[in-house]
Amino acid sequence: MSLLEPLPSSASASQLYAALVDALPDPILVVAGSRRDDLTGWRFILANAAARELLRLTADEGRLLSAVRDPAVLGAVDKALFDVADAESAYETTGAQSRSLRVRARPLGIGPDGLRLALLTYHDETEVRRVERTRVDFLANASHELRTPLASLSGFIETLRGHARDDPAAREKFLGIMQAQADRMARLIADLTSLSRIELDEHVPPRGVVDLGMVVREVVEAAAPLGAQRGVKLDWRSCGAPPTLVRGERDQIVQVVQNLLDNAIKYSPDGASVRVEMQGGLSELAAAAGHDGVPRLSLVAPDPSQETYVALRFMDLGPGIARQNLPRLSERFYRVDGQKSGARSGTGLGLAIVKHIMNRHRGGLVVASAEGEGSAFTVYFPMAGDPEGVVKAS
């Protein structure tokens, strides 16, 4: 019986019980067998809806071998039926969407017809495994990223103690490199710490109200010297009055603006300009992003229940990003090949940080870019208060 068929109002206890078993979200099977060596005689005498779907069964009873073929799972059944002991086993399903399943077998005693009975329950561990793998990869990547500058530091210390000892010019040069490597390690640690803090409260909505235009002004002014070093001009004329209020946490919004501006400057050719544009009161996100003909991809999709947004866009005339690399941009430590070293080297964590902050703010992140065409990164923040009131609130 499925829950889709309503129970009669006079449902008996056994009808209720059957409906309950069928409605359980985890697959369960009841298995019966009389002799240990008669595998083909083992049967399942109950399979709930979840089990029928998982094991692709057309009936709720039948030969056990038609439902369960994994030898380790059959071993667990054997143990539960004939050793009368709990047993468990894990296996992966094959097919396009492979899943990790843990199966527990537990003796149920002897049935009315003298058959031994056992209960099989299935637990889907796919998500747990995925999270575990992500964590292991993350640790491996983080240690690798720290090991590189550390190895370089150790190497230069050795050189300074050895043949460069009495060579003041070489010493100066090496100390400069060492400083840069130490700075790099400090940046990595700062980004890692910040990422883990952001992830920790990613599910707690931010409370404050922030004037986005003010944040842009502050961050752009602070970045002016960085741009000036390479003759990069920062054009942010459209980001001024009236105040544009968004819901969010100020420090995190500053981090978003800093990271996107930093990338735009870093990837700009010397002497080019970076444009920062702000546009409020948007309800139609699609119309707002990207220039025509350039591939665009949404890396964070905004919460559709929000009403109006402010878009903040950073445009540069840098090398652009090939279409196939767009989906990976916000992965931790991902950097486009060929940009991993030299003046443009970064931690590869900036866009991952931006992504998590935008998730928390129920905002959006869209990139539009093509090789040789520059890049435009746009973030969308939900506007604070009622959309009419925002502008009038000044």
- Give residues in contact with ligand ADP (CB under 6 A): 259, 263-264, 267, 316, 318-319, 321, 329, 334-336, 339, 346-352, 375
Select from Mg ion, ligand ADP, none the partner in contact with residue 319, using the beta carbon and a kind-dependent cut-off of 5 to 8 Å: ligand ADP
Select from Mg ion, ligand ADP, none the partner in contact with residue 335, using the beta carbon and a kind-dependent cut-off of 5 to 8 Å: ligand ADP
Eight-state DSSP code of residue 256: H
CA 29 – CA 61 distance, rounded (Å): 9
Task: State in angstroms the smallest separation of the CB of 234 from ligand ADP.
Answer: 14
* Residue 335 near residue 357, CB atoms below 8 Å: no
Select from ligand ADP, Mg ion, none the partner in contact with residue 252, using the beta carbon and a kind-dependent cut-off of 5 to 8 Å: none
CA 22 – CA 13 distance, rounded (Å): 14
Nearer to ligand ADP by C-beta: 319 or 363?
A: 319
CA 96 – CA 11 distance, rounded (Å): 41
Task: State in angstroms the smallest separation of the CB of 312 from ligand ADP.
Answer: 14
Residue found under tokens 């010297």? 225
Select from Mg ion, ligand ADP, none the partner in contact with residue 264, using the beta carbon and a kind-dependent cut-off of 5 to 8 Å: ligand ADP
User: Phi, psi at residue 215, to the nearest 5°?
Assistant: -60, -45
Select from Mg ion, ligand ADP, none the partner in contact with residue 347, using the beta carbon and a kind-dependent cut-off of 5 to 8 Å: ligand ADP
* Residue 380 near residue 285, CB atoms below 8 Å: yes
Nearer to ligand ADP by C-beta: 267 or 380?
A: 267
Check the CA dihedral 82-84-87-91 and report its sign: positive
Nearer to ligand ADP by C-beta: 206 or 350?
A: 350
Nearer to ligand ADP by C-beta: 285 or 329?
A: 329
Nearer to Mg ion by C-beta: 213 or 346?
A: 346
Q: What letters, b where the CB count within 10 A reaches 16 and e where it falls short, cover 295-312? A: bbbbbbebeeebebbbbb
Nearer to ligand ADP by C-beta: 185 or 336?
A: 336
Nearer to ligand ADP by C-beta: 65 or 370?
A: 370
Select from ligand ADP, Mg ion, none the partner in contact with residue 267, using the beta carbon and a kind-dependent cut-off of 5 to 8 Å: ligand ADP
Task: State in angstroms the smallest separation of the CB of 272 from Mg ion.
Answer: 17
* Residue 100 near residue 129, CB atoms below 8 Å: yes
* Residue 184 near residue 147, CB atoms below 8 Å: no
Nearer to Mg ion by C-beta: 106 or 344?
A: 344
Tokens, residue 97: 């969407």
In sequence order, the 6+-apart residues with CB closer than 8 A to the CB of 155 are none
Nearer to Mg ion by C-beta: 167 or 183?
A: 183
Task: State in angstroms the smallest separation of the CB of 143 from Mg ion.
Answer: 21
Task: State in angstroms the smallest separation of the CB of 81 from Mg ion.
Answer: 59
Cα dihedral: 74, 75, 77, 82 (round 10)? 140
Q: Which residue is nearest to ligand ADP (CB)?
A: 346
Task: State in angstroms the smallest separation of the CB of 210 from ligand ADP.
Answer: 22
CA 157 – CA 336 distance, rounded (Å): 31
Nearer to ligand ADP by C-beta: 248 or 348?
A: 348
- Contact residues toward Mg ion (CB under 5 A) are 263, 346, 350
Select from ligand ADP, Mg ion, none the partner in contact with residue 379, using the beta carbon and a kind-dependent cut-off of 5 to 8 Å: none
Task: State in angstroms the smallest separation of the CB of 331 from ligand ADP.
Answer: 8
Helix, coil or strand: residue 333: coil
Residue 40: CB atoms within 10 Å: 8
Select from Mg ion, ligand ADP, none the partner in contact with residue 329, using the beta carbon and a kind-dependent cut-off of 5 to 8 Å: ligand ADP
Select from ligand ADP, Mg ion, none the partner in contact with residue 317, using the beta carbon and a kind-dependent cut-off of 5 to 8 Å: none
Task: State in angstroms the smallest separation of the CB of 257 from ligand ADP.
Answer: 13
Task: State in angstroms the smallest separation of the CB of 341 from ligand ADP.
Answer: 11
Task: State in angstroms the smallest separation of the CB of 262 from ligand ADP.
Answer: 7
Q: Please, is 8 exposed, middle or buried when counting C-beta atoms within 10 Å of its C-beta (0-12, 13-18, 19+)?
A: exposed
Q: Please, is 245 exposed, middle or buried when counting C-beta atoms within 10 Å of its C-beta (0-12, 13-18, 19+)?
A: buried
